Amino acid sequence: MGSRHERWVDEAAGPLVRPYAITRGRTGPRGERLDLVTILTGTGRPVPERTRLSPEQYRMLALCRRPTTVADIASDLALPVGVIEVLADDLMDLGLLGVARPAPVGRPDMDTLRRIRDDLRAL
C-alpha cells in the first residue's frame, strides 16, 4: 500500500503530461461541449477511406459500440477528459460517433428522483 500522501489530490496534481501528441496539437473541442456524463455511441458507419484514426480513437469506437459516458471513456482509456473531448469531436465530425444522450441540464422530475432514492436504499 502506498503512502498516505499518494492519495492527496494536490500532490497528484502538477504539470505531468503533454497530451497534445495524442490530440495532434489541439487543446479544445470545436463542436458541442461535452459533459462528463454526456452519453456517446458509435454510429456503426465504416471509417471513411484515407482517414487515419489514432489507436486511441479506435479504442474509443470499440468502447462506444454501446452507449458510454465521457467519464467512463476517459477512465477506461486512462486518458484525461480534455483529450477524450478532442478525440470525440473529431470522430463526430467524421460521422463515426454521436451523442446518444446529452447530459441532464436541470433537476429530474419527482418520479425519477424517487426511483433514484429507492434504488440507492436497496443497494
Partner 1 sequence: MTYVPSEPVLRAGAPGVGGTAPRDDTEPGIQPGVGGTDPRDDTEPAPAAGPSSAYKILVAGGFGVGKTTLVGAVSEIRPLHTEELMTEAGSGVDDIRRIEQKTTTTVAMDFGRITLSQGTVLYLFGTPGQDRFWFMWEELSRGALGAVVLIDTRRIEASFAAIDYFEHRSDPFIVAVNRFQDAYDYTAEEIRDALDIAPEVPIVLCDARRRESAKEVLVALIEHAMRRPGHPDEAQAYA
Residues that bind ligand GDP in the complex, under the rule CB under 6 A: 4, 7
Q: For the stretch 11-36, what's the b/e string if a residue is b when 16 or more beta carbons lie within 10 angstroms of its beta carbon?
A: eeeeeeeebeebbeebeebeeeebbe
Q: Which residue has the cell 495524442?
A: 22
Is 87 a binder of partner 1 (CB under 8 A)? Answer: no
CA–CA separation, 109 and 111 (whole Å): 6
Q: Total residues contacting partner 1 (rule CB under 8 A)? A: 54
Q: Which of ligand GDP, partner 1, none has residue 52 at its interface (CB below 5 to 8 Å by kind)? A: none
Which residues are at the interface with partner 1 (CB under 8 A)?
Answer: 1, 7-10, 12-19, 27, 35-37, 39, 41, 66-69, 71-72, 74-75, 78-83, 100-110, 112-117, 119-121, 123
